[in-house]
Structure 1
Amino acid sequence: MAQIMMLLILFQSCTIYRSTPITLDQAVKNEYKVKVITKTSGALKFKRIGVENGDYYGLIWSRGETIRIPLKEENIISVQEKNKTLSNLLVIALPVALTIGFANMFGDEPGWKSDGSFQF
């Protein structure tokens, strides 16, 4: 049971990003989590992208503080935004599927019981 709870907690933090890249301006406007692929640092994940005086920055939270990481447009390969629908679906569907799977492995066969209820 402890392993199931650990898996559920682990999948709560999963984020799926869209494969189609967007512009920095779209990322600022949408205010979603983004993954920025850079030439030098690889993949950087930000809570969102901001802009001030024409300079872009990524926002991360660390120990209760907001930290701005400057972004240079010429150093960016792509920007991918969070896919909210698939991320939420993963958080809901995967634990349900795991629970049903474990119940089937360790419990009785799923199906209709004699009292008219359905057993998973």
Structure 2
Amino acid sequence: MKKSKLKYLTFFICILFLFQNCRVYNSKSVTIEDAAQYPGRVKIKTNSNDTYKLENIKKEEGTYYGVVKKNSKAANDLLEHIINENSSNKYVQILLTEDLTKDIHLQSKGKSTGLSVIGIALLSLLVGSLAIVAILGGFFG
């Protein structure tokens, strides 16, 4: 395979991975109680207008915790709120207080999947068109 064709294939695969990791969150804010019952990812906006993405929100004995990866932006920025840091676990829990959380948005799994499918379809059309142009016109030399 020629180097130029290999570059285009590599580009295609990179874009494919990019669309697979795309997440869309609902624009409507929910209560922390609703977010704790939701099994998926959530995005919170703090009172200082910082935004953090959490794996989920848990409720234990009336207290709410956000679960994040240990090396995430949320874990680094909210270090003083971390509870239950276990060195063998890759997740930490962040104490979510009323003065910390302003808005909570749930991940829309349907929209995330739809966007990924549309992105992959458009990219496939683009690559297919480039392949047809290359075959018919000798575009890639």
**Runs of at least 4 residues of structure 1 off by over 4 A?**
none
Q: Which residue of 1 aligns with 2:119?
A: 94
Corresponding pairs, count: 108
Structure 1 counterpart of 2:29, one-letter code: P
Q: Which residue of 1 aligns with 2:6?
A: none
More strand, by proportion: 1
Mapped partners of 2:59, 2:49: distance in 1: 20
Q: Which residue of 2 aligns with 1:14?
A: 22
Q: CA RMSD in A?
A: 1.7
Structure 2 counterpart of 1:71, one-letter code: L
Mapped partners of 2:52, 2:64: distance in 1: 14
Q: 1:12 to 1:79 in 2, by over 3 A?
A: same
The correspondence of residues 36-115 of structure 1 with structure 2, limited to 5 A, is 36-40=44-48, 42-62=50-70, 65-107=90-132
Q: CA deviation at 1:59?
A: 0.6
Structure 1 counterpart of 2:56, one-letter code: R
Q: CA deviation at 1:41?
A: 6.4
TM-score (structure 1 length as normaliser): 0.81
Structure 1 counterpart of 2:130, one-letter code: M
CA-to-aligned-CA distance 1:3-22 (integer Å, 9 cap, x gap)? 11001111211100000000
TM-score (structure 2 length as normaliser): 0.70
Mapped partners of 1:86, 1:67: distance in 2: 28
1:2 to 10, 15, 20: 10
Q: CA deviation at 1:105?
A: 3.0
Mapped partners of 1:57, 1:107: distance in 2: 53
Structure 2 counterpart of 1:31, one-letter code: P
Identity of aligned residues (%): 24
Gaps of 5+ in 1: 109-120
Gaps of 5+ in 2: 1-8, 72-88, 134-141
SS at match of 1:59: strand
More helix, by proportion: 2
Structure 2 counterpart of 1:98, one-letter code: L
